Amino acid sequence: MTNPIFAAIDTTEIARAQALAEAIGPYVGGLKLGLEFFLANGIAGTRAVAGDRPLFLDLKLHDIPNTVAGGLRAVAALRPALLTIHASGGAAMMRAAAETMKGEGGQSRVLGVTVLTSLDEDDLDAVGQRRPVTDQVRRLAALAQASGLDGVVCSPHEVEALRADCGPGFLLVVPGIRPEGAASGDQKRTLSPAAAMAAGASRLVIGRPITAAPDPAAAARAIAESLGATTGAEG
């Protein structure tokens, strides 16, 4: 992928999502649609917005292995480039997910979500995970790789360690990306686009710095240009 940016379109409104997709499409590598949009609009609405663009379907499934496998089969017709499940669901769940998508043709790459970028060490401690965030992320990433997943979702702060742990072929998809001067919002572990790529990120997920900008297309283009990424507008 010559443009590593997946733009996160977080809305329930199809018209708004389509307008954003059209505006920023030339300047990003793909679109991310998540639980909020999918629950409101389902497969048909997701297809209407994504069109033929690479789709990151970010549902973060977390259930017993059979249910997660069934859920992935249900959305396989969308042929998303990337799909998410929670790595904390365990090895059996992740193996079931990986095997299911291979059975569906292997075109969709399954990612394990490690520790959400809205969480820090105090949050982990509150739910009984008394270890540094980086240690928990590394543990879950190793389990995801051993279970057959194609990669993980992690914050930019863990990218360098995971790249060293997991090698060059393992996808590291990174939210919590904030250009210099952008508000962090509810993200607690953030980094700039260029710094995340330099650390070893494979793909960047960027939402509000693009979609909430006064001119989303200009914001997307500026970020792409800062990375030296190819854009459709440039051919």
Residues 6+ apart with CB under 8 A from 174: 153, 154, 155, 156, 159, 191, 196, 201, 202, 203, 204, 205
Residue 117 near residue 187 (C-beta atoms within 8 A) = yes
Residue 86 near residue 154 (C-beta atoms within 8 A) = no
Residue 156 near residue 134 (C-beta atoms within 8 A) = no
For 78-143, give the DSSP string: G--SEEEEEGGG-HHHHHHHHHHHHHTTS-SEEEEE-S-TT--HHHHHHTT--S-HHHHHHHHHHH
CA 233 to CA 42: how far, in whole Å? 30
102 is catalytic: no
Q: Which candidate in 32, 60, 102, 188 is catalytic?
A: 60
Q: Residues with catalytic annotation?
A: 60
